[in-house]
Amino acid sequence: MATAEKIQVKLPDGSDLELDAGATGADAAAAIGSGLARAALAINVDGALSDLSAPLQGGETVEIVTDKSPEALELIRHDAAHVLAESVLDLYPGAKISIGPPIENGFYYDIEFPDGSPGEEDLARIEERMREHVKADEPFERREVPAKEAAELFGREGQDYKVELIEDLIRDEGAQTVSLYRNGPFEDLCRGPHGPSTGRIGAFKLTSLAGAYWRGDENRQMLTRIYGTAFLDKKELDQYLERLEQARERDHRKLGPELDLFQFRPEAPGMPFWLPHGTVLLKLMEAEVRKQLDARGYSEIKTPQVLDVELWHRSGHWDNYKENMFFTAPAQSEDAERAGKEEREYALKPMNCPGACLVFASRRHSYRELPLRLAEFGLVSRWEREGVLHGLLRVRAFTQDDAHVFCTLDQVTDEVDSICTAIDQLYERFGFDDVRVELSTRPEKSIGTDEQWEQAEAALRKALERQGRDYDVSPGEGTFYGPKIDFHITDALGRSWQCGTCQLDFQMPERFELAYTGADNADHRPVLIHRALLGSMERFAGILIEHYGGRFPLWLAPVQAVVLPVADRHNERAAEVAVRLRGEGLRARVDERTESVGRKIRDAELSKAPYMLIVGDKEIESESVSVRHHGDGDLGAITVEALIERMQVEAGA
């Protein structure tokens, strides 16, 4: 039992640990064992991470965090961000620091430099100064300071961004005090927690520079963002840097133009132009989705891209999503001007669901027609700040492989089963075998009653559990109109991407007053399932490009074979070979340029075409082609008939 001089805390195994009153996390670690005390980085108190120096009150459940704990990486990356800022201020007096959080694969710090931004070549110098501070093993020391006093302190140092952050805390949260962390001569505004000292940071590396507007506002100061990463040992860092280099080589923004897939232009920021080979890739992706549509009884529709804003008021998007929408400027026609009337205002659709609801509402439906499955490859437009656009992975205009299933509540489980199976089959077809499922529940900003949300979440849980699926729960991450199931795939570099989704919606049918005639001859409200198998077609294409590094499997390659005539006199035979291949449903082109065959081979290799077919005098004489395969190498001379058979088997035709 705890006394005035003693307190008790509970350990993860359920046992009690008695400590002196006023004991800290470090004291708890030492009481358990000297080895644990040396390994300790922080302490988990009732599920919240705290500094080892934080005092314990008694009665808490505590767990010592070491380098083997899942929280360790985030902790040392946060430490490294502080050391980065400290080192920058050493080397660039007058620099103004803003924020520097840990992120998924490392950390960053946004900084205003006094004489222009440093270049990539300056990162090594900053790293070297960071190593000095890590070697010095500077303790991280926390103190609570009156907020106004902290603002004055940073104001005297010319750290305007810190002053603004503190003033916002005072205004928005009523903060009376703020916490500061010191390591060596450097002190920063920070909530914490931190490790015991800078010496606990393992291996680290500054990786890149970027521009970032202060607080994401394009009207504010452009800062320099320095990215870095940190790991517990050098081996883990080296493995990560190797993956990073592979990612650079596979970057779809680099490969897209090189492989004639897509391009972006300043005339349409964030809106891709699909080139010939990329358009073939998109059609192949659509064909796989359509196989699932045909097998599962979907009907395909097409709805307008521009719709009256009244529709978006009715759907709920105006109240919950208008900041992400494009609107047309109201126009005045001569007739309208004479009548003193304004023209109607329109918006580009950010989602396809209201259009599908209008299609459903266009005629009466019997319960015998349900589930009614309406699919649409719908082009949608969403406003994104230019600074967050990222190739095909984050765009302003994209095609969603949408479908909307109108059904009864009793039919939801079977429909979700079918949707999940379709997603499984598609991902396997595209080469993704590591799939994680996540159930996202009601967000803070939502529409509908508590009862409706409870019914919707229960229906999705039932479907997942009936399938025997393992799934994670992501509280508060559902859409504003309903809970959802998301599918996350893992690519060849171990990165996770959210793609397919299945969302249950009681709200949209209410808002559009949708109804079907039941067996009792009365009107009933359908339930709406929103689903996308791949999600954004553009985004999925970007993922595919990086997953395969541009070397697609034969069935997915936009050009499956390049025919290379050795000289101009071989062009006619090369063209005949290409025609034969195309006649059998294979995609082939001829390189008729007046270049050497060696140059043509190199260029074909760079184009990542699966097959290179060389045609010269010898091949014409033997009625064959010399074949090079990017996976199997030089296959020698093969007849065109044998080649076609091989390619069709490989493509799964």
Closest C-alpha among 575, 586, 579 to residue 611: 586
* DSSP-derived 3-state class of residue 563: strand
Alpha carbons 18 and 34: distance in angstroms, whole number: 16
Residue written as token pair 């079918």:
418
CA 195, CA 548: separation in Å to the nearest integer? Answer: 39
- Check if 404 is active-site: yes
**Which tokens in the block code for residue 438?**
């996540």
Catalytic residue among 96, 404, 539, 628: 404
Q: Are 423 and 489 in contact (CB under 8 A)?
A: no
Query: At CA 451, angle to CA 446 and CA 456, rounded to 5?
Result: 70
- Radius of gyration of the chain, Cα coordinates, nearest whole angstrom: 30
Q: In one letter, which amino acid is 46?
A: D
In the block, tokens 């800022």 appear at 85
Long-range contacts of the stretch 484-488 (C-beta < 8 A, 24+): 484/439, 484/440, 484/460, 484/530, 485/416, 485/420, 485/437, 485/438, 485/439, 485/440, 485/460, 486/437, 486/438, 486/440, 487/423, 487/427, 487/435, 487/436, 487/437, 487/438, 488/435, 488/436, 488/437, 488/438
Q: Which of 402, 491, 505, 591 is catalytic?
A: 402
Confirm whether 600 is a catalytic residue. no
Active site residue 190: no
The Cα 634–Cα 599 span in angstroms is: 17
Q: Give the residue among 483, 522, 490 at the shortest CA–CA distance from 504.
A: 483
Active-site position among 162, 252, 484, 608: 484
Q: Could you confirm whether 484 is annotated as catalytic?
A: yes
Amino acid at 252: H
Exactly one of 78, 96, 194, 353 is catalytic; name it.
353
> Residue 366 — left, alpha, or beta (φ > 0 → left; ψ -120 to 50 → alpha)?
beta
CA distance 175 to 197: 27
The answer to whether residues 416 and 462 touch, using CB atoms and an 8 Å cutoff, is no
Asked about 353 being catalytic, the answer comes back as yes
User: Three-state SS for 241?
Assistant: helix
Spot the catalytic one: 205, 530, 539, 547: 530
- Does an H or E element contain 321, and which? helix 317-321
Residue tagged active-site, from 51, 96, 225, 400 = 400
β-strand pairing of 527-536 with 523-524: unpaired
Catalytic residue numbers?
353, 382, 400, 402, 404, 484, 530
